[in-house]
Chain A
Amino acid sequence: MGNTKKMLFRAIEFVLRIIFIFCTLFPFYWMLVTSLKNRLEIHAKVPTFWPENITFENYINAFAQTRFDMFIKNSLIVTVISSLIVLVVSVLGGYALARYRFRGKNVILIIFLASQMIPMITAIIPMFILYSKLGLIDRLASLIASYTVSNIPFCLITMSSFFKRIPVSLEEAALIDGCSSFQSVVRIVLPTMLPGIMAVFVFAFTGAWNELFYSIMMISNEGRRTIPAGLMNFVQKYDIDWGQMTAAGFITLIPVTVMFFMVEKYIVAGLTQGAVKE
């Protein structure tokens, strides 16, 4: 009796697992399949679940008919620069937050947490006016600044929780061995922090890589758009070229997916130990 119940329970679990993985993968699969079909097959009355004739014309067209190469370049510039700034600032600030006691520490923590609640979108109007006064409209610098700011609070708090997990004794040992405190951080603490550093970098990277509204608002020059904003024009048309868009989408997905799989473990650690448990 107990055994059949257990078997039944296991069967349900198994089915649920299949359903979850199917629902997760189907959109990706459908995007890939669509991107490999020709126009006729995409709009066929009876959709095919695998392309009859695999074609790469959509990928070629994505580059030929949009300025996709420029979008990629702009996205890379904006994302890499802002993530690196976020990383440096978060390492410095996270270290201070984890190791030192000082007056106003709680106030600072509250400022960071509260700033996470401010909707980016309500700041879009004042930022637009500010950037136009500074002559930054239509320049990638405006996006770099915006993404850096919006990613710092979360990344900094996450980084400090990674620092807290490194025992202070490790640094003290280095100090006794004759390292300066700067050396002990750079040579001893940072290498052990590598997973945390990678996780924070990936947070900042995906945040900036995926952002849409600031990019639409601040950049109007086609050649300076980032990927989401650049492709937006093609998605809002009445007659969307689905082959081309899914091809472009698939390419966009590659860098974040590769990074995600590389550091998934640490991302999970960062998410769960970071801002929320503080």
Chain B
Amino acid sequence: MLLLPALLIVVGFMGYPLLYSVRISFLNYNLMAPNDVRFIGFDNYRKLFTDSEIKYVLLNSIKWVVTVVFFQFILGFILAMLLNKKFFGKKIYQSVVFLPWAVSGFLIGLIFKWVYSEHSGILNFMLLKLGIIDSPISWLGDGKYAMIGPITGMIWYGIPFFGIMILAALQSIPTDIFDSANIDGCSGIQKLFYVIIPFIKPTIIMTLLLRVIWVFNSPDIIYIMTGGGPANASNILSLYVFNQAFYSLDFGYGAAVGILMMALLVLYALVFLTLTRYERSGDF
């Protein structure tokens, strides 16, 4: 009984839109022509295959997810290792380095856009001063570089999350495992690969799974820094859905892209879980 409100709200507001968007994806539903809403079968899905933009955007999404999650994980791991020891001022240090977690994508986009600004941005100034570049680079306006800014912003945003999760896992490792590893004469690196990583593997797998989905679905920073441009150079699938809905007002096609996105996520989750489970049973 106590669960009822939660269940009703979640099923009502999540199940319903989900089914409804399947329906919309079979309709010609454009807000520009609100009186011309009609059933068109698989036309929106056929468009997915002929849309030349979408392949490009899909490729960008993969680039975005892989780079962001990779660096978030590596840096988050290092951060967690650093925090797993006692040092002076650790409590306050930990609170500060975890702070980006609470900041909004909007604000991060804003700050990084300012840092990467072509003419008054601090980054170009530093690079010029150090002699690394000769003339200011248009970080956000040049298609070659447009992904770099949002990617660094997103990495910065997500390091704390990985740090928190991995730190908690590290702290759950019983100390006697380390003692026996020491007795066996393990070096630091050996300990890392043969003791620490196997022990916290479940956490790593779960965190990676969740983060990939989350990063795939989070276009805030891109939206603010580049708007997905120039000419889709930094556009990703989730932003593409939003742009279809908000700018093109093509709800039918937008819904179809949304369904594609969901399908990809489900597929990803299944593959990921099968692979990791398979590997786990092989390891132990």
Distance between A277 CB and nearest chain B CB, rounded to angstroms: 8
Once the chains are docked, how many angstroms separate the CA of A196 from the CA of B16? 31
Chain A: residues with CB nearer than 8 A to chain B? Answer: 9, 13, 16-17, 20-21, 23-25, 27-28, 30-31, 34, 42-44, 46-47, 89-90, 92-93, 95-97, 108, 111-112, 115, 117-130, 145-146, 148-149, 152-153, 156, 206, 209-213, 216-217, 228, 231-232, 235-236, 240, 242, 245-246, 249, 252-253, 256-257, 259-261, 264, 267-268, 271-273, 276
**B54 CB-CB contact with A under 8 Å:** no
Chain B residues within an 8 Å CB radius of A108: 3, 7
A232 contacts across to B, CB distance below 8 A: 106, 224
Contact A149:B245 (CB < 8 A) given known A21-B97, A108-B3, A125-B255: no
Question: Are the C-beta atoms of B242 and A124 separated by less than 8 Å?
Answer: yes
Contact status of A121 and B3, CB under 8 A, knowing A126-B20, A212-B223, A252-B107: no
Residues B93 and A93 in contact, CB atoms below 8 Å apart: no
Contact (Cβ within 8 A) B24 A210: no
CB of A111 within 8 A of CB of B265, answer no
User: 16 interchain pairs (CB within 8 A)?
Assistant: A13-B85, A24-B96, A47-B125, A92-B6, A112-B10, A115-B14, A117-B269, A122-B21, A126-B18, A152-B6, A211-B104, A212-B104, A257-B102, A260-B95, A272-B165, A276-B206
Provide the residues of chain B in CB contact with A123, threshold 8 Å. Answer: 14, 17-18, 21
Instruction: Tell me whether A96 and B82 are in contact (CB under 8 A).
Output: no
Q: Are A235 and B82 neighbours in the complex by a CB distance under 8 Å? A: no
Is the pair A43, B120 in contact by a Cβ cutoff of 8 Å? yes
**B168 adjacent to A272 (CB under 8 Å):** yes
The residues of B that contact A212 with a CB separation of less than 8 Å are 104-106, 220, 223
The chain B residue with its CB closest to the CB of A202 is B102
The reply on B143 being an interface residue by CB < 8 A is no
Known contacts A31-B111, A125-B21: does B2 contact A209 (CB below 8 Å)? no
| Residue from the list B103, B246, B254 in contact with A253, Cβ < 8 A | B103
> Does more than half of chain B's interface fall in helix, strand or loop, or is it mixed?
helix
User: What 4 A-B pairs come out closest when comparing CB atoms?
Assistant: A210-B104, A122-B258, A272-B168, A126-B17
B111, A27: Cβ atoms under 8 Å? yes
Asked if B220 contacts A213 (CB within 8 A), the reply is: yes
Q: Are B112 and A121 in contact (CB-based, < 8 A)? A: no
Chain A: CB-nearest residue to B172 = A272
Taking a contact as CB atoms closer than 8 A, the residue among A31, A34, A115, A125 that contacts B10 in the complex is A115
**Chain B 84-126 interface 0/1 with A at a Cβ cutoff of 8 Å (1 = within):** 0101000001111111111111111111111101011010010
What's the Cα separation between A212 and B108 when bound, in Å? 12
Q: Are A89 and B9 in contact (CB under 8 A)?
A: yes
Specify which of B100, B107, B217 is in contact with A121 (CB 8 Å cutoff): B217
Contacts of B1 in A (CB 8 A): 96
Residue B164 interfacial (CB < 8 Å): yes
| Chain A residues, Cβ within 8 Å of B251 | 125, 128-129
**In the complex, what residues of A have CB within 8 A of residue B188's CB?**
9
Tell me if B97 and A24 are in contact (CB < 8 A).
yes
Chain B residues, CB < 8 A from A117? 213, 265, 269
Q: Mark B66-95, 1 if CB is under 8 A from A, else 0.
A: 000000000000110010010100000111
- CB-defined contacts of B269 to chain A, threshold 8 Å: 117
With a CB–CB cut-off of 8 A, which chain A residues contact B197?
A: none
Tell me the bound Cα distance from A44 to B121 in angstroms: 10
**What is the CA–CA distance of A234 and B10 in the complex, to the nearest angstrom?**
34
For the complex formed, measure the closest distance between the CB of B80 and the CB atoms of chain A, giving whole angstroms.
Answer: 11
Tell which of A34, A119, A217 touches B217, judged by Cβ atoms closer than 8 Å: A119
Please measure, in the bound complex, the distance between the C-alpha atom of A100 and the C-alpha atom of B228, giving whole angstroms: 48
Chain A hits for B17, CB < 8 A: 123, 126-127, 130
Are B10 and A153 in touch, CB under 8 angstroms? yes
> What residues on A are CB-neighbors of B227 within 8 Å?
236
